Copies of this chain bind each other. A is one copy, B any other.
Amino acid sequence: MGSDDAPIAEVEGSLLAAEEFGAKILLVGREEILRRELSRHFPATGQIEIVHAEDVVTMHDNTSAAIRTKKDTSIRVAAEQVLSGRAAGMVSAGNTGAVMATAVKVMGRIPGAKRPAVAQIFPTDRGGRTLLLDVGANVDCTPTMLVQFAAMGEVYTRVLFGCERPRIGLLSIGEEDHKGNDLTSKASNLFKQKPFNFVGNVEGRDLFTGNVDVIVCDGFVGNVALKVSEGLVSTIKTMLIQSLEATVMRQIGYGLAKGAFDEFKKRVDYEEYGGAPLLGVKGGVIICHGRSTRQAIKNAVRVAIDFETGGITRKIQENLVDGLENIGGKSSTAVSSRSTTSATKR
């Protein structure tokens, strides 16, 4: 029920995912609305099932108030499907804060994870990908939280992108250690004590250079970075079209080179990346943009499937509790021997 276009994008995206990946989809929300939208599509498929939820959290709701007062929201019911094991993961294009808070409340945090984080994939100009986290879940972070984000992002890139030993960078305003704020300076010291492949401070431009695989920052900075990127991609496309349509000669050139623009659009469009995973809760939660298209929803379902198939939740737990000498803060007798093994593997 969450996207700007709900439930059209969700229903059509689910139908595409069912067809393309053979996925079985539970559509969670107001039954009559979902049934009406589904009935517009032919042929009906047995792979889509509706699970009724009475309430909806809107983008304008105060998140904590909505979670307190609305008991039967589609986000909550979806999270309960994951908790009970009926669903392998959930996808939502709704209110990010509500998805995150509800997922934590219903599914619970992974042992050792202080705070879940939303991770966003950025395309690099060498054809690779860089993962940035957190992009919006936690506005005021501690150094330990940033280290945990790295531990979670490391697992994600290792499993889903096949990076053997992901390079971890700390988003700051200069590569030198002394450039940054209080948080980055303390986090930098902490990173050096952990068995990461830590490359030090990186800058905003490194989201696209491919010099690093995982970049960590607090959720305020990450969200600004994400929205600056989205805004700029959209602006650049507008500007380019304006210039290309200005003369007949250019229009002809544009026509001949159209394949290049389609390819380019595909490379920079966020919908191709299929939503941002919420890392740190017990179960796959994929958060999509409010302006998601059916294509974006379909790709988010693919990410949810890969998340479950790759055993991301279990591997994050291992990395947080054992792999990083227990950076979550809990004691464990198995720490030292296992952390050695894990560090060697990375």
Q: Which residues of A contact B (CB under 8 A)?
A: 60, 62, 97, 123-125, 136, 139-140, 171-173, 176, 178-182, 203-209, 217, 219-221, 223-236, 238-240, 242-244, 246-247, 249-250, 252-261, 263-264, 267-268
Contact = CB atoms under 8 A, between A and B. Distances in A.
A126 to B, nearest CB: 9
B173 A224 contact: yes
Main secondary structure on chain A at its contact with chain B? helix
13 contacts: A62-B178, A125-B242, A139-B173, A139-B181, A173-B219, A173-B220, A173-B227, A180-B220, A205-B231, A206-B231, A221-B224, A236-B236, A250-B256
A75 to B, nearest CB: 17
A172 B224 CA distance: 7
A225 B228 contact: yes
B227 A140 contact: no
Nearest to A223: B173
A78 to B, nearest CB: 22
B221 A204 contact: no
A261 B241 CA distance: 10
Contacts of A228: 204-205, 207, 225, 228-229, 232
A231 B208 contact: yes
Contacts of A255: 253
Contacts of A253: 252-258, 260
Which of A219, A223, A227 gathers most chain B CB within 10 Å? A227
A175 to B, nearest CB: 9
A211 to B, nearest CB: 11
A225 B223 contact: no
A231 B257 contact: no
Contacts of A240: 260, 264
Q: Which 3 A-B pairs have the closest CB atoms?
A: A205-B231, A253-B256, A253-B257
Contacts of A123: 235, 239
Contacts of A206: 231
A133 to B, nearest CB: 14
A182 B267 CA distance: 36
A302 to B, nearest CB: 23
A177 B205 CA distance: 29
A268 B171 contact: no
Contacts of A140: 181-182
A140 B184 CA distance: 12
Which of A62, A204, A207 gathers most chain B CB within 10 Å? A204
A232 B235 contact: no
A173 to B, nearest CB: 4
Nearest to A209: B231
A171 B219 CA distance: 14
Contacts of A249: 256-257, 259
Contact of A204 (B203, B205, B224, B258): B224
Nearest to A226: B204
A252 to B, nearest CB: 6
Contacts of A257: 244, 249-250, 252-254, 257
A176 B61 CA distance: 10
A173 B243 CA distance: 31
Contact of A227 (B62, B205, B243, B264): B205
